[in-house]
């Protein structure tokens, strides 16, 4: 899509009056209804795996999708930041800014990022609300006992061996969302079922 609102920024879901859906669209607003879907949870909770599973399904349906992966953001957008509370907050706000920018232009933005502090996530939500952009908070609520067994990146083993410190949910705080838009118990279902659960919520919210 190359045509833009004259201001370059318009609330998600609004399309110019002269714009009509094209034949390749599976629904009228596939290309114009953007949203940020933030998947928060502990390391190895399954956030990224679920995000990629959902992204594949959304692309097949004709949606424009981007994934803002936490590790990639750290490397390219937040290089130099550490893991203090202040730096974690800054990292989350940067990701939130990019996500809202993309979502405001009709992209479904999946953000599998820990974002351990409630006030940081709330600041991102408020930014989206101020811009009229949809924001969905998903808590991938996998227990730390399960995450430490999965240990996709070997972080729990390194922490146990004293090689690293500040691991979220172990020796650094994780403030779980009290009222997320969706809570996924990934340890009790398949990745496909988790993605389907999130897809159903987005459909219910009128975002698909």
The predicted-structure confidence for 93-111, as pLDDT tens digits, reads as follows 999 999 999 999 999 999 9
**DSSP class of residue 187?**
G
Average pLDDT across the chain, whole number: 87
pLDDT at 9: 43
CA 144 to chain centroid, in Å, comes to 20
Predicted confidence at residue 70, as pLDDT, reads 87
Rounded alpha-carbon distances, angstroms, from residue 84 to 88, 91, 117, 206: 6, 10, 11, 37
The conformation of residue 174, written as its DSSP 8-state character, comes to -
Is the pLDDT score of 32 beyond 80? Answer: no
Task: Tell me the C-alpha distance between 51 and 53, whole Å.
Answer: 5
Asked whether the predicted pLDDT for residue 175 surpasses 50, the reply is yes
Do 158 and 46 form a contact (C-beta atoms < 8 A)?
no
The C-alpha atoms of residue 109 and residue 36 are separated, in whole angstroms, by: 5
* CA–CA separation, 127 and 150 (whole Å): 34
- pTM here? 0.83
pLDDT band at residue 23 under the 50/70/90 scheme: very low
Give the three-class secondary structure for 125.
helix
Residue 67 CA to residue 22 CA, distance in Å, equals 25
pLDDT digits (tens, 9 = 90+) for 47-75: 999 999 999 999 999 999 999 998 889 88
CA angle 202, 137, 152 (to 5 degrees): 105
């Amino acid at each position: 899509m190359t045509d833009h609102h004259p201001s370059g920024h318009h609330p998600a879901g609004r399309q110019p009056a002269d714009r009509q859906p094209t034949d390749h669209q599976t629904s009228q607003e596939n290309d114009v209804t953007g949203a940020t879907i933030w998947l928060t949870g502990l390391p190895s909770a399954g956030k990224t795996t679920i995000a990629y599973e959902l992204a594949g399904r959304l692309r097949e349906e004709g949606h424009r999708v981007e994934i803002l992966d936490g590790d990639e953001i750290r490397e390219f957008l937040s290089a130099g930041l550490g893991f203090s509370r202040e730096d974690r907050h800054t990292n989350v706000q940067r990701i939130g800014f990019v996500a809202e920018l993309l979502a405001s232009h009709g992209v479904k933005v999946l953000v599998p990022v820990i974002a351990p502090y409630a006030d940081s996530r709330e600041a991102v939500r408020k930014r989206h609300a101020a811009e009229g952009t949809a924001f969905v908070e998903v808590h991938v609520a996998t227990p730390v006992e399960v995450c430490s067994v999965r240990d996709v990146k070997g972080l729990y083993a390194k922490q146990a061996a004293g090689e690293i410190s500040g691991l979220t949910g172990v020796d650094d705080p994780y403030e779980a969302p009290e009222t997320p838009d969706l809570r996924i118990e990934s340890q009790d279902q398949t990745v496909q079922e988790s993605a389907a659960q999130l897809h159903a919520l987005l459909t219910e919210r009128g975002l698909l």
